[in-house]
Amino acid sequence: MAARRPTVDDELLTLRRVQINGIDLAVDEHGPADGPVVVLLHGFPELAYSWRHQIGPLTDAGYRLLVPDLRGYGRSEAPAAVEDYAIDVLARDVTGILDAFAVERAVLIGHDWGADLAWKTTWLHPDRVIAVGGLSVPFAPPAPAPPVGLMRQGLGEDFYMVWFQEPGVAEAALERDVRRTLATSRQWTAAWAQEQDDVPPTPSFLTDEELDVYVRAYERTGFRGGLNWYRNLDRSWERTKDLDRRIEVPALFLTGERDPVRRFMPSVVMQGWVTDLRVDAVIPEAGHWLQQHAPEAVNEHLLAWLADVT
């Protein structure tokens, strides 16, 4: 029998609010209290809810899951200061979650920005991590110069990470019609923001009810918290550029065959930096929203890898 999809009500029943690193974070806890701990970290513009397809299979396999709405998202606090979203601060949120739940070491798995956070937390705090998995975004060693300038030079002013840099601009465009923003299959750019097209149909990997969960959350919070992660690209680079450390714990990387991130962040960038990459797989036909788009394939890879590393 197929597992029932978790609902928002389920999340509220498992919710714990914890004071971590100076802010209030919402963390959903699932699974047996004595199971190996796995922390699932979502991306932009997502929520803890983005891992709903993984919760049943992983808890059924005996894992204890900690699934936060990350800093600036959903039910968690969103500090006003842009610098409060630098990667070293975000990594301390993750170790703070482990401290709050009395966990010494855990497996970290992330998607999109959550993948970058999983890699960087492992890089900055290797003593707290058993193994690390990234979906869609590979570990990226420090660039030779501040990354926003490199993106502007190589990918143009309308590249979404460059367009996101000016406070207030992307927020106004993304929040004008939250459903259009979340349903689109196109990249968010200044050109996209100028158009007045109709709301796209619900993406194939979401039901209307699931899309509604995201729409309600972002209509309430807006996008500023998540955008502030992008606005720290250069600051985060400055704070970590001199760290010459390899990621030596067992690692996994999954990407979708149709994920556009592969064009500018190929997994080859990890060579020499991630020394125990046990899984490096491309999911056929899948796009960027990997664990929602191809949950069965993702869960199969995760369960096999977790059995190997825990």
In a domain, 270, yes or no: yes
Angstrom distances, CA of residue 244 to CA of 123, 240, 273: 10, 9, 9
pLDDT per residue as tens digits for the range 121-146: 999 999 999 999 999 999 999 999 99
**Domain assignment present for 80:** yes
Q: Residue 44 pLDDT more than 70?
A: yes
Greater confidence (12 vs 126) lies with 126
Per-residue confidence at 196, pLDDT binned at 50, 70, 90?
confident
Reported as a pLDDT band with limits 50, 70 and 90, residue 4 is very low
Number of domains in the chain: 1
Question: Which range marks the domain in which residue 15 is found?
Answer: 8-309
- Does residue 62 lie in a domain region? yes
The pLDDT score that the predictor gives to residue 7 is: 52
Cα–Cα distance list, 131 to 32, 54, 69, 111, 153 (Å): 19, 17, 21, 15, 35
Average pLDDT over residues 154-172: 95
Q: Check whether 6 has a pLDDT greater than 60.
A: no
Rounded mean pLDDT, 183-211: 90
Q: Which of 34-48, 106-120, 172-186, 191-205 has the lowest mean pLDDT?
A: 191-205
216 in any annotated domain: yes
Catalytic: 112? yes
Determine whether 125 is an active site residue: no
Tell me: pLDDT of 120 over 90: yes
- Encoding tokens for residue 114? 């959550």
Residue 104, token pair as written in the block: 């010494």
pLDDT of residue 1: 37
For 87-117, the pLDDT digits (tens) are: 999 999 999 999 999 999 999 999 999 999 9
In a domain, 218, yes or no: yes
199 — pLDDT class (breaks 50, 70, 90):
confident
- 172 occurs within a structural domain: yes
- For residue 204, give every residue at least 6 positions away whose Cβ sits within 8 Å of its Cβ, in sequence order, or none: none
Q: What is the pTM of this model?
A: 0.95
pLDDT in tens, 68-86: 999 999 999 999 999 999 9
Structural domain contains residue 3: no
244 domain residue, yes or no:
yes
Angle at the Cα of 209 from the Cα atoms of 56 and 108, rounded to 5 degrees: 35
Cβ atoms < 10 Å from Cβ of 81: 7
% of the chain residues with pLDDT over 70? 96
Query: 3-class secondary structure for 80-142?
Result: CCHHHHCHHHHHHHHHHHHHHCCCCCEEEEEECHHHHHHHHHHHHCHHHEEEEEEECCCCCCC
What is the domain-level CATH number for residue 282?
3.40.50.1820
Bridge pairing between strands 251-256 and 277-283: parallel
Is the confidence at residue 197, as pLDDT, over 80?
no
Tell me the average pLDDT across 254-259.
97
DSSP three-state, residue 214: helix
Judge whether 225 and 26 are in contact, CB under 8 Å. Answer: no
Residue from 28, 112, 116, 259 carrying the catalytic annotation = 112
Nearest to 76 by CA among 47, 116, 103: 47
25-29, 51-55, 213-217, 263-267: lowest mean pLDDT where? 263-267
111, 288, 293, 301: the catalytic one is 288
Question: Is 70 exceeded by the pLDDT of residue 39?
Answer: yes
